[in-house]
Structure 1
Amino acid sequence: MANYGYQGAYSTTNYGAQAGAQEGGGFMSGSQQGSQENSSKTYGQESLRPVTIKQIIDAQQPHPEAEFKIDGSDLTQISFIGQINSVTKRATNILYKLDDGTGLIEVMQWVNSDVDPDTVQPTAKEGEYLRIFGRLRSFNNKRSVTAHMIRPITDFNEVSYHLLEATAIHLYFVRGPPDSINDGGVKADPGTGMFVDSYDGAANGAMGASAKKLPAKMSAGAKTVFGLLQSAPQSNEGLHVHSIAAQLSMTSNDVFKAGDELLGEGLIYTTVDDETWAVLEY
């Protein structure tokens, strides 16, 4: 059983060779279809690691036939959570584009070509969150994930927990055991793209130094959202309300209230739509 020292934080999967050997799997139950893995692969050594999409995109692959690596360790099966950006249904597969606030990745789910996907799978809609179990692939220098299991997120706390877990495991590899860390402070971790507070890996929106300069009348929620918008990795479009809520463990309603305050003060502005915000630079 593979154990990388972080209190069993990620190890071999309970579906092992059966799930790993087939690149299929339906939304919820579904069907399986795909290519057989190399028969010489030792499935007993496989691990399941929680990651962020940024880690997937930044994973290293020494050569085309080699395993991907994150933090110098082989990456076999991965698990991550993302919000559906788009869904494309095809005859043999469904292609999801998922965003977790740190990046965007395509996820392919194979389906049985003899069965109508609509008859065996619930409809996954844009804006919903999914938990993905699968493998990282690269074709023509483009990264994607082949999923062997996909399930919807029913408890929003799972989103925050996953980001915390992925960050904590990354920090274990790059900084060592928790007792060896004593640098303090809130900062954006370059490995996962998440906010971290010392080693604890607390993916949170604690306001940075610049957020303390906000008007005294501003609510704590607004200050927290502003701190995240200033410090979190993001595209030129800024961050969507759902991404902010996920990273801060806030409800969307509370994020909207905070956004209204910040918009009213002229501190942030809307970008691609009314629910995507960026800090107004002076």
Structure 2
Amino acid sequence: MTRRRPQDGSSEGKTYANVSAPPTMKPLTVKMLKRAIDARQTPDETLVVNGVPVHNLTVVGKIVGVESKSSYVLYKVDDSTGVCDVKVWSDQDGDQTAEPIEVGAYVRVYGSVKTLANEHMIAAHTQQAVRKITDHNEVTFHMLEVVYASGHAEKTKVSGGAAPANAYTVPQQAPNVAANGDLGSEEIDVSIMGVLKQFAEGEQGMTVDEIASKQNGKFTRDAIKAALEEMSNGGEVFTTIDEDHYAAV
């Protein structure tokens, strides 16, 4: 049975720099964020992703829940790797100067992780820190940015060099920093999801070979197939017209 997937735009010609995160913000997926949170020994400990401390972060996803109170708005944001809570506090006088963003909208979130009563969330201290996305290419570009930032961090860690302060750019071939392990697995998952969201048309999705052709040689077909099967078991993708066609949830 074919399931419907979110409809993302697929127009081309946008420059990556137009939608990339500020250099002080670490682009992450929800899965990466939760893994970093779970790795902490105490709630006050700094988040570490790929060996790099993370103080401020950005995620991109779809709003699947909204709870509006006089002092805050709580969003549930789903980026296809997981769901996280995003809490936006109102102005000091308690007034909400803007209506909450509706369920179903895609947003970019800027903030930092806070833990309150053993509940983890992204704290966005201004309403402008949750921005509605109007060009859905930004969803794909964020995933590519996550892949490149992860590879860049690993490369810097191995070489012992310092990361440049300027914003990231997308290379023709993102660094394949690991054949096995968490970083390699995270990189291939995010890259596959980015390809599916940008290039899959209709409800039949894309074949394994079609997905592999968009990877610029970063991963082998066998690695992509294995990752797709794992992502399917995790509910991130699903097969459509046959066992070789996949679409993003």
Please state which band the TM-score falls in when normalised by the shorter chain.
0.5 to 0.7
Q: Distance in 1 between matches of 2:29 and 2:111?
A: 13
Counterpart residue number, 1:171: 151
Query: 1:62 deviation in Å?
Result: 4.1
Counterpart residue number, 1:51: 28
Query: Is 1:155 matched with 2:135?
Result: yes
Gaps of 5+ in 1: 1-8, 13-46, 207-218, 241-258, 270-274, 278-282
Q: Distance in 1 between matches of 2:100 and 2:21?
A: 30
Q: Which amino acid aligns with 1:111?
A: S
Match of 1:233 among 228, 231, 234: 231
Q: Which amino acid aligns with 1:132?
A: V
Query: 1:192 deviation in Å?
Result: 5.4
Q: Normalising to structure 2: TM-score of the pair? A: 0.59
Q: Distance in 2 between matches of 1:221 and 1:174?
A: 32
Does the aligned pair in 2 maintain the 1:52–1:192 contact within 8 Å? no
Q: Name which one, 1 or 2, has greater alpha-carbon Rg.
A: 1
Counterpart residue number, 2:61: 82
- Indicate how the Cα distance of structure 1 residues 167 and 267 shifts in structure 2: closer, same or farther if over 3 A, else same: closer
Q: Normalising to structure 1: TM-score of the pair? A: 0.53
Q: Distance in 2 between matches of 1:126 and 1:54?
A: 21
Q: Distance in 2 between matches of 1:11 and 1:103?
A: 23
Query: 1:68 deviation in Å?
Result: 1.2
Gaps of 5+ in 2: 1-19, 160-170, 198-202, 212-223
Q: Which amino acid aligns with 1:204?
A: V
Counterpart residue number, 1:32: none
Higher alpha-carbon deviation: 60-69 or 169-178: 169-178
Q: Which amino acid aligns with 1:169?
A: A
Off by >6 Å, runs of 4+ in structure 1: 177-180, 182-185, 266-269
Secondary structure at the aligned position of 1:233 is classed as helix
Aligned-pair identity in percent equals 22
| 1:113-124 pair list within 5 angstroms | 114-117=93-96, 120-124=97-101
RMSD: 4.3
Match of 1:129 among 106, 112, 126: 106
Q: Distance in 2 between matches of 1:183 and 1:76?
A: 23
Query: 1:233 deviation in Å?
Result: 3.2
Does the aligned pair in 1 maintain the 2:228–2:237 contact within 8 Å? no
Match of 1:72 among 22, 26, 51: 51
Q: Pick 1 or 2: higher relative contact order, CA cutoff 8 A, min separation 6.
A: 2
Secondary structure at the aligned position of 2:85 is classed as strand
Higher alpha-carbon deviation: 52-61 or 139-148: 139-148
Q: Which amino acid aligns with 2:186?
A: G
Match of 2:123 among 146, 162, 165: 146
Aligned residues: 190
The superposition leaves residues 129-172 of structure 1 with CA deviations (integer Å, 9 ceiling, x where unpaired) of: 11111001234543210013111001111111111001111122
Counterpart residue number, 1:23: none
Does the aligned pair in 1 maintain the 2:148–2:175 contact within 8 Å? no
Secondary structure at the aligned position of 1:126 is classed as coil
Query: 1:194 deviation in Å?
Result: 2.8
Does the aligned pair in 1 maintain the 2:152–2:175 contact within 8 Å? no
